Each structure stands twice: as C-alpha cells, then as structure tokens.
Amino acid sequence: MIKFGTDGWRARIADDFTFSNVRLVAKAIVNYIINAGQKEKGLVVGYDNRFLSKEYAEEAAAVAALNGLDVYLSEESLPSPVLSFAVKNKSAAGGIMITASHNPPEYNGIKFKAEYAGSALKEITNKIKKELKLLEGTEITKDLPKTNVKKENFKKAYVGNLKNIIDFESIKRSNAKVVFDPMHGSSSGYLGEILKEFKIEVTEVNSVPDPLFGGISPEPLPKNLEELISETKELGLKSPDDLVIGIALDGDGDRISAVDSSGMFINPHNVFSVLLKHLIENKKWSGEVVKTFNITRLIDKLCNKYDLKLHETPIGFKYICELMLQRDILIGGEESGGMGVKNHIPERDGVLCGLLLLEAQAMAKKSIGGIVKDLYREFGEYSYDRNDIHIGKDRGAEILSKLKESPPKDFCKKKVKDVRNLDGVKFVFADESWILFRASGTEPLLRIYAEGKNADDVEAMLAEGEKLVQGI
C-alpha cells in the first residue's frame, strides 16, 4: 500500500495517507538510520503548507524522538530544498519532509532527504522499504509525547548561504522587476522576502498559503499560471525599460518555470539553458552537466559549444543527485523544472534557480526572453510540450511494453530513426525531434513528451501519440 515513487511516497489524504501510516514510514526511516549507525547525528523534520502537513510532521518527529534520536522540527512550513540544506547544515542523518509537492490538493506525501542533503537514492529507499515490511501489522500508538522535539528555524542559515552564491547588488542595479508566484505553496515568504531585503522590486501573486491551492494544482505549467502571466505582461507594458520577469515555483519550492515581459512562458528547458549559459559565461564556473531523458536537445548543443561532458539519466532528481555526489557537476536539470547547481546541495532548488535567473538577466543586461531568443538564433528553435493522460492501474506498463515490443516504423509522417528505452519509450526522428512515452511515478498518469522545431510539429506529434496509446 505504501509505495515510493519518483521522489518519496505520495498518497491520497485519509485514504492511504493517514497518521497511522505516517508513523509507520517515520519508524521505518528511523530504523534505517539506526541500522546505518547514524543515530547520533539526529534528524531534521519539515513540512509544506498542505492540509495537515504540520500535524503529520509533528507525528513523524515524535516517533523519531521516542526512538532516541535528536529531532529538530522546523518551526514553520518551508520549501523542500531548505529542509535539505538543514540536513547539511546540521550534519544530520537525514530529513523527513512532509509534502506532496506538485500533486493535487487531496494528496500528501513524505520525501526522505539523506545525510548528503539530497533525495534518497534507490538503495536507501530499498532499505527503508525492507524496514517497512518488517513493521507490517504493527500499529504505532497515537498521542505520542512531543516534548523531546526541538523546534528550530532553518530559514536563516539557508538564506545566509544564498548570499554567498548570488550577487544581489548586481540584480539590484539591473532594474529588475519581479512577479513571484509561489502557487500558494511553501516557498511563499522566501523569494519575495529575500528580494525585498535587497530592495529589489517584487510583486507576489498566490502567496497566501492555501491547502486547496486556489483550485489549481501547484505545478508550474502555463495552464496553472494565468495570473502570473497576465501580471507579468501588464508590468512589462508599464515598464518597457526594466528587466521584468515572472517566476513560478511548485508547491514545495523545488521546481521553477518563468514568464517574460511579453507574457511568453519560459519553460524549464529554456530556464535550464539560460542557467547553463549564465554559469559558464558570466559566473565562470565549470564542471559537467546532467540532464534527464526528457530534456531538450538544446542542452546537448550548449555542452558541445562549451566542451562540457554531458550525462543523461532517467527521470527523477535522485539520479542527478547520485552523479552530483560522485563527480564535479556544474548543473543538473529535469523537464519538470527541478534544477540544481554546484557549490550548494545535491538537490533541486527553485528559490536559488530563481535568483540565478535574475542574476543571468542582470549580467547579460538582457531580459530572459531576449536571452532565449539569442539561444534560438544561435542553435535553432526548439518547441516543446507535454500531454498527461489519465490511465487505469497497470495500463501504463502494458502500453509501454507494447510500444517497446513493436515500435512503429513511421510516426507523424517521419521515419523513426532510433528507439530508446532509458526511461519509458522514446522515438527519435531524423530532424532531431522526439517523442517520449512514460508512466508517472507520482500520479496515475501516462506522460507524453515531445520536442520539435515548431509548435505545430509538437502538437501533431502529441495528437498522434495519444491516438497510438489509445489504440493499444
């Protein structure tokens, strides 16, 4: 019943996500920590502002304290990367984050951040799953004493570290005007507050915590960002000489997307490309690059230009994190907007990436839309979209195995040049365009991703992809 997916365990509140199951998962994590000989290092616990997240966090913290761990519980809701940073800062054995991130409001979840301050790698999750199995049939009593849990504020140390990475003065000098959309999630009070501290102009939309997320899933996709798009466009019209940008983060602040002053959506592929260019050209950082299987070819082109080694992984930041722990990785990113950079934590961080975008604009003296247009001029245009289809249980596996077994020779009037199976099934065409079919590990959805030369091409591929799936 308790399944760990792309990042942690997610389930519907009151269905599988109950206090009793939260206690069980917390106990399994505690047992893993004790077996790993890390009990003395303590545990940090945090939560987003979903329905009952704080209460679930208190319960998980109480389980850990009762089992003899030093437990530091965040005194307020916080983004996932802030909790990860607290793991690093306190040299803790790990962190429990109560969040269902981008999922619809009826979900909640638990992400486990390991001692290296990033998402649990597969082998750790497997050990936790084993502990969970051993606990089968056990009921951990409610009304646990909460007295041994220490309340702590993790914000100060995190923000202090941002000041070491970001050149706030140059952002301030650049006439940046920011519209920030935390999507009613736990990054509200972060990006906005930090910018205000440096007297950088920022307007916030959807900043009031709301467990119903204003009726919209907190995933930074254009369909969920109408208000941000219109506010940014309006501000762009009013301030044509300033660097106007809209920034959206998901429900737990680890993913990002953006909007330019004309209201154009800047998808995560473009955010990733802009950040890579910025880190190399302006910040003069170096290192290798990691992209997941569903990221734009533009990243390949940039790595080729700058002569950077490029790694490709399945979808899920834990795969990027694994490489960040082993190698000198400059930046890693996912299609969903999760991106992380060196000199910080091996973790995606929407707050930091938002600040890096502002820094990129300031140092290039150009708006984000302008930087993207430059990239298109240099490398050609890349258009992208995704279609999520609701599917029944087990249907995903069936569809994908059929596609793997007998891929079409032609698709959308193009010859299938290559079929790749790193994660799901990807058809690659001669003109570099591609389509990928993959089952989500966080929701009961089949995702169809497509990249082509223009929007019509992408739309046609997605329509044909849906037809193909429905015919199976």
Give the binding site for ligand VG1 (CB under 6 A).
6-7, 101-102, 250, 254-255, 315-317, 334, 336, 338, 440-443, 447
Q: Which is nearer to Co ion, 186 or 367 (CB)?
A: 186
Q: How far is the CB of 219 from ligand VG1 (least distance, A)?
A: 7
Q: Give Rg (Cα) of the chain.
A: 22
Q: Which is nearer to Co ion, 252 or 322 (CB)?
A: 252
Sign of CA dihedral 221, 263, 82, 334: positive
Q: How far is the CB of 79 from Co ion (least distance, A)?
A: 8
6 binds, among ligand VG1, Co ion, none (CB under 5 to 8 A by kind): ligand VG1
Residue written as token pair 């800062």: 89
Q: How far is the CB of 120 from ligand VG1 (least distance, A)?
A: 12
Per-residue DSSP letter, 153? -
Q: What helix, strand, coil percent values describe the chain, rounded to 5?
A: 40, 25, 35
Q: How far is the CB of 113 from Co ion (least distance, A)?
A: 13
Q: How far is the CB of 15 from Co ion (least distance, A)?
A: 21
Q: How far is the CB of 61 from Co ion (least distance, A)?
A: 21
Q: 148: exposed, middle or buried (C-beta count within 10 Å: 0-12, 13-18, 19+)? A: middle
Q: Which is nearer to ligand VG1, 90 or 111 (CB)?
A: 111
443 binds, among Co ion, ligand VG1, none (CB under 5 to 8 A by kind): ligand VG1
Q: Which is nearer to Co ion, 350 or 452 (CB)?
A: 350
Site residues, Co ion (CB under 5 A):
101, 250, 252, 254-255
315 binds, among ligand VG1, Co ion, none (CB under 5 to 8 A by kind): ligand VG1
- d(C-alpha 150, C-alpha 268), whole Å: 37
236 binds, among ligand VG1, Co ion, none (CB under 5 to 8 A by kind): none
Q: Which is nearer to Co ion, 71 or 216 (CB)?
A: 216
Partners of residue 97 on adjacent β-strands: 46, 111
- Evaluate whether 282 touches 363 at the Cβ level (below 8 Å): yes
Q: How far is the CB of 317 from ligand VG1 (least distance, A)?
A: 5
Which residue of this chain has its Cβ atom nearest to ligand VG1 in the complex? 101
Contacts of 314 (CB under 8 A, 6+ apart): 292, 293, 422, 423
Q: Which is nearer to ligand VG1, 21 or 99 (CB)?
A: 99
Q: Which is nearer to ligand VG1, 261 or 336 (CB)?
A: 336
- d(C-alpha 261, C-alpha 257), whole Å: 14
* Phi, psi dihedral angles at 30 (to 5 degrees): -60, -45
Residue 124 parent element (H or E): helix 122-134
148 binds, among ligand VG1, Co ion, none (CB under 5 to 8 A by kind): none
Sign of CA dihedral 47, 52, 54, 55: negative
Q: How far is the CB of 112 from ligand VG1 (least distance, A)?
A: 12
Task: Find the length of the chain.
Answer: 472
186 binds, among ligand VG1, Co ion, none (CB under 5 to 8 A by kind): none
Helices 80-89, 155-165: axis angle to 10 degrees equals: 90
- Evaluate whether 23 touches 63 at the Cβ level (below 8 Å): yes
- Structure tokens belonging to residue 132: 């969970």
Q: Which is nearer to ligand VG1, 118 or 287 (CB)?
A: 118
